[in-house]
Amino acid sequence: MKKKILIVDDSTPMRYLLEAVLGKEYTVVTAPDGLVALTWLMNGNKADLIITDLQMPNIDGWELLDYLSGSYLYQDTPVMVLSGFYKDNMNDLATRHNCVRDVIQKPFDPMQLLSKVGFILDEQFSISA
């Protein structure tokens, strides 16, 4: 069974790009903002990895991270932040949010992203095994 990735980004082209890059190896579900993502999760769905942008309408990535980190149900779900923010300004993300496993700055190399996703998922499943 393919591992499931939830992509949360308000940019339709970015969601399509990420789905194209990751969809061959993983089951990809997309959400245009944190509200839709949380609704999907609260409806009993589970993701093996969440990839989120930070700047979005409704519930943004910062609020989504706060919720996931503070939730007993989702605190162990790894998150990758994919954002246009300068990476040096986000070094404390992993410190403040225990669920954040990596931060990648846009624009990004799709092959590097695929490699990092594979590493995070392999690491996650070796810990839970």
The pLDDT, as a whole number, for residue 13 is 96
pLDDT band at 119 (very low <50, low <70, confident <90, very high): very high
- So where are the chain's domains? 4-124
Q: Which residue is listed with tokens 């404390």? A: 92
Distance between CA atoms of 71 and 76, rounded to whole angstroms?
9
Bridge partners of 78?
none
Distance between CA atoms of 30 and 4, rounded to whole angstroms?
11
Strands 4-8 and 79-83: unpaired
Position with higher pLDDT, 85 vs 102: 102
List the structure tokens of 17: 């790009």
pLDDT band at 105 (very low <50, low <70, confident <90, very high): confident
The pLDDT, as a whole number, for residue 102 is 87
Q: What is the pLDDT of residues 14-66, one digit of tens each?
A: 999 999 999 999 999 999 999 999 999 999 999 999 999 988 899 888 899 99
What are 121-125's contacts with CB under 8 Å, separation 24+? 121/3, 121/26, 121/48, 121/49, 121/78, 123/78, 124/48, 124/49, 124/78, 125/3, 125/48
pLDDT band at 96 (very low <50, low <70, confident <90, very high): confident
User: 3.30.420.140, 3.40.430.10, 3.40.50.2300, 3.40.605.10: which CATH number matches 4-124?
Assistant: 3.40.50.2300
